[in-house]
Amino acid sequence: MPHTPPSSRIPAIFKRPLKAIRPVWAARAMHKSAVEVLKQPVPEDTVTASFGKFISELKPQHLSPVVLHRSKRMVLDSIGVGLIGSTTDVFELALQHCQNMYAPGDTSSVYGHRGIRLSPILAAFVNGVATHSMDFDDTWHPATHPSGAVLPAVLALSDMMPANNKPSGLDFLLAFNVGIEIQGRLLRFSNEAHNIPKRFHPPSVVGTMGSAAACARLLSLDPIQSSHALAIAASLAGAPMANAATQSKPLHIGNASRLGLEAALLASRGLEASPLVLDAVAGVAGFSAFYEDYVPQPLQSPGNDSHMFLLEEQDIGFKRFPAHLGMHWVADAAASVHKILVGVGPGTVSPAQVEDILLRVPKSKYINRPFPESDHEARHSFQFNACTALLDGEVTVQSFTPAAMSRPDLHALLSRVRLEHPNDNPANFNRMYGEVQLTLVGGDTVKGRCNTFYGHWRNPLSNDSLRKKFRSNAEVVLPSEKVERLIEVVEDLDQLRDCRNLLSQLQ
Amino acid sequence: FEGVFVNQGKNSLTDGVINRSKRMMLDTLGVGLLGTRTAVFNKALKYSQLFTSRERSSVWGQSDIILPPHYAAFVNGIAVHSMDFDDTWHPATHPSGAVLPALLALAETLPSQPSGLDLLLAFNVGIEVQGRLMRFSKEAYNIPERFHPPSVVGVMGSAAASAKLLGLSPEQCIHALAIAASSAGAPLANAATQTKPLHIGNAARRGLEAARLAQIGLKGNPAILDLDRGLGVYYKDYSPSAMADSAVRAYKWILEDQDVAFKRIPAHLGMHWVVDAALAAREKLQNAVGKFDLSQIRHVTLRVPPSKYVNCPLPATEHQARHSFQFNACTALLDNKVTVASFGDAQIGRSALKELLGKVSLETPEDNLPSFDKMYCEVEIATHQGPSYTARCDTFYGHWRKPLTLKHLVDKFSVNASSVLCTEGVEGVIDVIGNIERVADCSILGSYLRMTSNQEHLDRMRIL
């Protein structure tokens, strides 16, 4: 069936092309820097233009079976964590803010809240906040949380499109994958991006760009408008790491989603920005402003063949419990220690038995927290997650409730923890490990080590495990029939003629 | 930090600060009103009209359009920076455009209307915070290369000012700043494009938003200003220092020591030096030869500080033209003035101008530092007859070392505001701002800003 682009209330704007600069220097010698400026690249040769072209020209047939499969898993997981996230305090606060500041819009649905709809931008915002509210959402390599920045915006935009012209499931998946792919490509422009971040929180940098790209695709913007959408988004990107492990962190994803959508909408109305935003221009920073080292590469347009999506080469990590990815290694290592101890003695681990707990982990300030005080801090604490797993044998959603966090046994263990940062343990999600070494009263030591936790891209969650996670999350806010229907709809998303079937199940 | 602005009472504002900040408010309103006739403003307005809310705030120069407060702050902020006509400070940023639109939008939503003095105090808090933050980094003292400063410190200033007007507690103020930091930072590459004005619009709205979120209890990192991975991410060198204890009676405002520059031309600040130098060189030529004739000119050399984003030999858009040493120098030579009208498409496209542009070369002497406090511009006109005429500008009229007289500031405002408001509105604003510290209810300002002229109603859709 031929696909017609969604009829726009947003007219395509004709844009006059950039003029090539004529060499105008005089016969006498000119200062070198002035000469450099005159040699402007022809628009089509720029990295920025190549991205605009890619976004605009990618077609559904370019999605391979592997990419379809992996991205559907991401969509399912993202919806599930968003649904459970809609029960958190930070979500409530964000929703209240939107409802106070803006009258109820009736366009786009809000995860898990029947009867509440917001304008698309705000729906993208709150649903993005929900997705990241418990740090339960997916993680990629190089490090970012790709889906939470993109899915809420694509959902909100789909709700906005006229009833007689909703995107098909395939259009939806295509836009989603464009948003993921763009993030992956941008992360590869910098070596700094390969390690656990220190300066800017990656979702706030590449997530905004991914959202803009995905929305540009769904709006069927032309190559030039698509590149302007990216450039406008760049001026909305960037949040510092200091707000990680605080209640504001989820807003990084919420904002990435909504601001990317906003950038695409502004571009569709004809707003223009820098045509060189992704290129490296000495003396004038574009997207490069967010990185210490930056080497951009143009993106090949797919043409008639398939495109090699990064998702095909590099899978995603899904979390088994709601905490920073680094916690999963120490939790698995500590769980194996717990198993050994419990197997030998009484059914629980008692602090009285424990003399010392040594964690060998990579060096990263924002996840080194001896005594976390809020759930946000606890989700970013090697110490907390290791001790919880030592005590309980696992870390779960419930581990971060105030009751669980205030247990005296837990505090007793926490006070016995010390950290070491071995040289061979880099702050890199592809290469790190977690080791837990318990010294018992009496002198015996028990050791556990995890190189690859279950859920990591090297050891992906099975489809069963992923659905189990989804059910457990979604059932907190939706009835089981809706939960099962969602699983089916996402599974068949690429066959869906009209994505309304997906949109209607979310609340 | 937070103690400072929570505890600042109204009597901590000195006469010097009151005087200077009122000038800033007037100038900002004028350039904002003029800016509501630009294409970028219209795009942002259309976009913003997608949203409605119970709370309503005015759009400057529009008698009957209201928007949710955040979007009013957004579009009015864009208007202020749309023509690069707004104030500039040292270290470099455009301080007022990020703060005033947010405050006025917020004021309209408060259950009891703030007084003029409340507004003035909040405004100065927003300016002061920006000044303090910029002094945490040496990088900030030079013409920027990476992040556009209003997008870094402007949003923080807006958050601080909004927090002040809302009467937030010290702890909430800290969180307002922390939340705002996650909304900071736009790259310089979008300067000289249509998106640059959004940097100020977004700074205003997102700072306001941060304050509102803090008000309902959202928390961020309370050490946001202390950490390298906090506000420090926007700078290569970052050394924060605590603000002086506000309990001490006489607080020393930065604005007292360091004034702002107001622009005479709607273009990047650097252009003002080159224009004054070009006008002076032109006059020398005219005095020597008796009359000024373009055909006499063989070559023009501009000696300017190194700054890529304002080095544009052949601008194609108004945004590029406002960021081009070459364009502004040549316009000055051609027309003997540079005005608002110089940046229209027709003016940019003149063949005489392009021909002259072809004769221009740039030099960046070692002693010409990329700092608005230290730079100079020199224009040398070489003639066919032989002699050269050179003039240099160290301090243009309007710079903080040579401030605009009150008369010229008010004239600038009147000319700008009259393009949109009727006479009663123009004079009303001048009157209210002039006496703001005595105004009991600042909503009167909003009503003047909505008094459009009859001509305006007819010309509503005209785009600059």
Structure tokens at B296: 């006499």
Are the C-beta atoms of B381 and B393 separated by less than 8 Å? no
- Regarding whether B193 and B246 lie in a shared domain, the answer is yes
The pLDDT of residue A32 is 40
- Regarding whether A252 and A363 lie in a shared domain, the answer is no
Give A274's DSSP letter: -
Confidence of residue B410 (pLDDT cuts 50, 70, 90): very high
Answer whether residue A12 is part of any domain: no
Sign, Cα dihedral of A154, A155, A157, A162: positive
Confidence of residue A31 (pLDDT cuts 50, 70, 90): very low
Question: Cβ B182–A248 below 8 Å, yes or no?
Answer: yes
Smallest Cβ distance to B178: which of A241, A245, A248? A248
- In this predicted structure, the answer to whether residue A423 has a pLDDT above a threshold of 70 is yes
Secondary structure of residue A26 in the 3-state scheme: coil
Structure tokens at A383: 């110490």
CA distances from B274 to A44, A471, B179, B303, B341 (A): 34, 67, 40, 9, 18
Confidence of residue A28 (pLDDT cuts 50, 70, 90): very low
Residue range A235-240: mean pLDDT, rounded: 94
Residue range A358-371: mean pLDDT, rounded: 93
- Regarding whether B380 and B251 lie in a shared domain, the answer is no
What are the phi and psi torsion angles at A49 (to 5°)?
-65, -35
Answer whether residue B378 is part of any domain: yes
- Disruptive mutation site among A8, A18, A106, A243 for chain B (greatest number of B CBs within 10 Å): A243
Q: Which domain holds residue A225?
A: 47-301+489-504
The pLDDT of residue B215 is 94
Residue range A369-380: mean pLDDT, rounded: 93
CB neighbours of residue B52 within 10 Å: 15
Question: Pick from A269, A286, A211, A216: which is nearest to A55 by CA?
Answer: A216
Confidence of residue B200 (pLDDT cuts 50, 70, 90): very high
Give CA–CA dist A485/A501, Å, rounded.
Answer: 9
- In this predicted structure, the answer to whether residue A475 has a pLDDT above a threshold of 50 is yes
Domain count for chain A, please give it.
2
Are the C-beta atoms of B103 and B160 separated by less than 8 Å? no
Secondary structure of residue A38 in the 3-state scheme: helix
Question: Cβ A236–B194 below 8 Å, yes or no?
Answer: no
- Regarding whether B305 and B160 lie in a shared domain, the answer is no
Answer whether residue A398 is part of any domain: yes
- Regarding whether A276 and A155 lie in a shared domain, the answer is yes
Question: Cβ B213–A22 below 8 Å, yes or no?
Answer: no
Give CA–CA dist B119/B426, Å, rounded.
Answer: 20
Average pLDDT, chain A: 86
The pLDDT of residue B58 is 92
Give CA–CA dist B77/B73, Å, rounded.
Answer: 6
Question: Cβ B314–A285 below 8 Å, yes or no?
Answer: no
- Regarding whether B58 and B104 lie in a shared domain, the answer is yes
The pLDDT of residue B432 is 93
- Regarding whether A250 and A344 lie in a shared domain, the answer is no
Residues of chain B numbered 359-398 and touching chain A (CB < 8 Å):
359, 361-364
Q: Are strands A434-440 and A108-109 parallel, antiparallel or unpaired?
A: unpaired
The percentage of chain A sitting over the pLDDT mark of 70, rounded to a whole number, equals 90
Residues of chain A numbered 293-352 and touching chain B (CB < 8 Å):
none
- In this predicted structure, the answer to whether residue B416 has a pLDDT above a threshold of 80 is yes
Give B294's DSSP letter: G
- Regarding whether B273 and B225 lie in a shared domain, the answer is no
Smallest Cβ distance to B194: which of A31, A198, A271? A271
Give CA–CA dist B455/B393, Å, rounded.
Answer: 40
Question: Cβ A286–B357 below 8 Å, yes or no?
Answer: no
Q: Which residues of A touch B182 (CB under 8 A)?
A: 201, 204, 239-240, 243, 248, 251-252, 255
- Regarding whether B216 and B254 lie in a shared domain, the answer is yes
Question: Cβ B198–A232 below 8 Å, yes or no?
Answer: yes
Structure tokens at A256: 């990435």
The pLDDT of residue A80 is 84
- In this predicted structure, the answer to whether residue B267 has a pLDDT above a threshold of 90 is yes
The pLDDT of residue B10 is 64
Answer whether residue B210 is part of any domain: yes
Domain count for chain B, please give it.
2
- In this predicted structure, the answer to whether residue A2 has a pLDDT above a threshold of 80 is no
Does the beta carbon of B53 lie under 8 angstroms from any beta carbon of chain A? yes
Q: Identify the CATH number of the domain in which residue B179 sits.
A: 1.10.4100.10
Confidence of residue A87 (pLDDT cuts 50, 70, 90): confident
Question: Cβ B185–A289 below 8 Å, yes or no?
Answer: yes
Residue B267: CB partners within 8 Å, gap ≥ 6? B84, B321, B322, B323, B328, B338, B343
CA distances from A434 to A135, A325, A333, A449, B326 (A): 19, 11, 6, 6, 59
* CA diameter of chain B: 73
Smallest Cβ distance to A101: which of B70, B147, B306? B70
Average pLDDT, chain B: 90
The pLDDT of residue A349 is 84
- Regarding whether A396 and A291 lie in a shared domain, the answer is no
- Regarding whether B290 and B235 lie in a shared domain, the answer is no
Q: What angle, 0 to 180 degrees and rounded to 10, lies between the N-to-C axes of helices A65-85 and A480-491? A: 160
Are the C-beta atoms of A210 and A54 separated by less than 8 Å? no
Give the pTM. Answer: 0.79
Secondary structure of residue B186 in the 3-state scheme: coil
- Regarding whether A297 and A374 lie in a shared domain, the answer is no
Give CA–CA dist B85/B338, Å, rounded.
Answer: 13
Does the beta carbon of B56 lie under 8 angstroms from any beta carbon of chain A? no
Is pLDDT larger for residue A282 or for residue B211?
B211
Dihedral-angle region of residue A382 (phi above 0 means left; psi in -120 to 50 means alpha; beta otherwise): alpha
Confidence of residue B9 (pLDDT cuts 50, 70, 90): low
The distance of A475 to chain B (nearest Cα, Å) reads 27
The pLDDT of residue B242 is 77
Are the C-beta atoms of A359 and A386 separated by less than 8 Å? yes
Domain boundary residue, one of B393, B422, B451: B393
Residue range A403-412: mean pLDDT, rounded: 95
pLDDT 10s digits, B85-107? 999 999 999 999 999 999 999 99
Give CA–CA dist B101/B46, Å, rounded.
Answer: 18
The pLDDT of residue B161 is 95
Structure tokens at B317: 């858009």
Task: Classify residue B291 by burial, with Cβ atoms within 10 Å: 0-12, 13-18, 19+.
Answer: exposed
The pLDDT of residue A26 is 30
- Regarding whether A234 and A188 lie in a shared domain, the answer is yes
Residue range B358-382: mean pLDDT, rounded: 95
- Regarding whether A402 and A271 lie in a shared domain, the answer is no
Angle at CA of residue B186, ends B185 and B188, nearest 5° = 125
- Regarding whether B176 and B55 lie in a shared domain, the answer is yes
Residues of chain A numbered 342-401 and touching chain B (CB < 8 Å):
365-366
The pLDDT of residue A207 is 97
Does the beta carbon of A92 lie under 8 angstroms from any beta carbon of chain B? no
Q: Which residues of A touch B188 (CB under 8 A)?
A: 284-286, 289
Are the C-beta atoms of A243 and A201 separated by less than 8 Å? yes
- Regarding whether B41 and B15 lie in a shared domain, the answer is yes
Residue range B290-297: mean pLDDT, rounded: 88
The pLDDT of residue A345 is 60
Question: Cβ B190–A277 below 8 Å, yes or no?
Answer: yes
The pLDDT of residue B259 is 92
Q: Which residues of B touch A33 (CB under 8 A)?
A: 306, 308, 311, 362, 364
Nearest CA in chain B to A241: B229
- Regarding whether A181 and A57 lie in a shared domain, the answer is yes
Residue range A100-128: mean pLDDT, rounded: 85
Residue range B367-377: mean pLDDT, rounded: 94
Structure tokens at B134: 């910029």
The pLDDT of residue A211 is 98
Ranges A17-26, A351-360, B401-410: which has the least confidence: A17-26
Residue A38: CB partners within 8 Å, gap ≥ 6? A21, A23, A24, A25, B313
Q: What is the DSSP string of A42-82?
A: PGGGSHHHHHHHHHHH--GGG--HHHHHHHHHHHHHHHHHH
SS3 sequence of A90-158: HHHHHHHHHHHHCCCCCCEECCCCCCCEECHHHHHHHHHHHHHCCCCCCEECCCECHHHHHHHHHHHHH
Give CA–CA dist A288/B241, Å, rounded.
Answer: 28
- Regarding whether B178 and B70 lie in a shared domain, the answer is yes
Give CA–CA dist A478/A489, Å, rounded.
Answer: 15
- Regarding whether A55 and A194 lie in a shared domain, the answer is yes
Residue range A150-156: mean pLDDT, rounded: 96
Confidence of residue A44 (pLDDT cuts 50, 70, 90): low
Confidence of residue A504 (pLDDT cuts 50, 70, 90): confident
- In this predicted structure, the answer to whether residue B249 has a pLDDT above a threshold of 70 is no
Question: How is the beta sheet containing A445-450 ordered, strand by strand?
Answer: A417-420, A354-360, A434-440, A445-450
At which residue do the structure tokens 């009736």 appear? A106
Answer whether residue A101 is part of any domain: yes
The pLDDT of residue A21 is 29
- Disruptive mutation site among B152, B200, B221, B380 for chain A (greatest number of A CBs within 10 Å): B221
Answer whether residue A443 is part of any domain: yes
Question: Cβ A277–B181 below 8 Å, yes or no?
Answer: no
- Regarding whether A215 and A106 lie in a shared domain, the answer is yes
Are the C-beta atoms of A447 and A433 separated by less than 8 Å? no
Confidence of residue B245 (pLDDT cuts 50, 70, 90): low
Residues of chain A numbered 117-146 and touching chain B (CB < 8 Å):
119, 121
Question: Cβ A235–B223 below 8 Å, yes or no?
Answer: no
Answer whether residue B440 is part of any domain: no
Does the beta carbon of B210 lie under 8 angstroms from any beta carbon of chain A? no
Q: Which domain holds residue B66?
A: 10-262
- In this predicted structure, the answer to whether residue A183 has a pLDDT above a threshold of 60 is yes
- In this predicted structure, the answer to whether residue A405 has a pLDDT above a threshold of 50 is yes
Smallest Cβ distance to B299: which of A26, A94, A102? A26
The distance of B305 to chain A (nearest Cα, Å) reads 11
- Regarding whether A228 and A361 lie in a shared domain, the answer is no
Residue range B413-429: mean pLDDT, rounded: 92
